[in-house]
Amino acid sequence: MKLSIAKEGSGVFVQQAIAILDSGVGGLTVAKEVMRQLPREKVIYFGDTARAPYGPRTPEEVRQFTEQIVDYLLQYDPKMIVIACNTATAAALDYISAKVQIPVIGVIHPGARAAISATKTGHVGVIGTAGTIGSGAYTAALKQLSPYVQVQSQACPTLVPLVEQGLFRAEGSLQVVREALSTLHPDEMDCLILGCTHYPFLIDTIQQVMGDGVKLISSADETAREISTILYDKGQLASSEETPVHQFFCTGDAEMFQSIAAEWLGEHIRRTPVVWQITKL
């Protein structure tokens, strides 16, 4: 049964969901903000934890993986797909958008908009995976919005594994972050885009390294606002007063995924029945 269709005569409507996908747990930062801003909306989350990180992979591989996940999620008849992975957004957003009949959004343009709104000097930093930084997607998005913006970019390949292993609060995380950001110059920027949805797990540590003079930009807040705007314009905002039942799927270690998700989402996990499932693609 498709999620948008109730059994005839049952009087029960099964709510269409917002499908959110990521290479692993990073997209939970977007899911959390969607749950906060749109508490009536049902979320179906898919984390490809068995194949994370996506950053070192080729664009072709990332596009293939993203297509596999989208094909899996379409069986639940979502009303929107959110590619909550910067690497996958850069590699596959246009491809997936042309493939499906529902809205598909990524996290790069929302992050760029938030940075342009925040910067006062026009000097913006971007950190992300090798794939995201190598694609030049953030520089292109920023300069499309403001041609005179100055962009300083840095790939940080050690940060995603730190989060995926649940070590983002570990004692050694500060040193890992310090080394990853060592080539950045905080005095040359007034805001830094966290160009990977995993990085908000490390936001306090990154702020400590960059200093209070640099505003950290996460795309999660702006992405949730874009979701709200699109669904409102299409007349598809959820109206049910019932608490939505969210679903979470992963391809790797379910216990690790559940532990990280429960810590990050907190009350949403405790309050709402959750489905944890290992999925083989």
**Mean pLDDT across the chain:** 90
pLDDT at 269 over 80: no
Q: Is 58 annotated as a binding residue?
A: no
pLDDT at 131 over 90: yes
The predicted structure's pLDDT at residue 2: 25
pLDDT at 137 over 50: yes
pTM exceeds 0.85: yes
pLDDT at 253 over 60: yes
Domain ranges of the chain: 17-106+221-278, 108-219
For the stretch 25-49, pLDDT in tens is 999 999 999 999 999 999 999 999 9
Task: Provide, rounded to the nearest whole percent, the portion of the chain with pLDDT above 90.
Answer: 83
Residue numbers annotated as active site: 85, 196
Q: Is 183 annotated as a binding residue?
A: no
For the stretch 142-198, pLDDT in tens is 999 999 999 999 999 999 999 999 999 999 999 999 999 999 999 999 999 999 999
The predicted structure's pLDDT at residue 122: 98
CATH number of 17-106+221-278: 3.40.50.1860
For the stretch 206-250, pLDDT in tens is 999 999 999 999 999 999 999 999 999 999 999 988 889 899 999
Distances (CA, A) of 13 to 2, 7, 45, 235: 11, 8, 21, 17
Q: Is 23 annotated as a binding residue?
A: yes
For the stretch 71-83, pLDDT in tens is 999 999 999 999 9
The predicted structure's pLDDT at residue 254: 85
Residues 6+ away with beta carbon under 8 Å from 38: 18, 224, 227, 228, 231, 237, 238
Residue 211: left if φ>0, alpha if ψ -120 to 50, beta else—which one? left
Q: Is 268 annotated as a binding residue?
A: no
Distances (CA, A) of 197 to 55, 173, 242: 12, 17, 29
Task: Provide, rounded to the nearest whole percent, the portion of the chain with pLDDT above 70.
Answer: 90
pLDDT at 86 over 70: yes
The predicted structure's pLDDT at residue 277: 55
Q: Is 198 annotated as a binding residue?
A: yes
The predicted structure's pLDDT at residue 274: 46
The predicted structure's pLDDT at residue 241: 86
Rounded Cα distance, 79 and 213, in Å: 40
Q: Which CATH class is domain 108-219?
A: alpha beta
Q: Is 251 annotated as a binding residue?
A: no
Residues 6+ away with beta carbon under 8 Å from 235: none
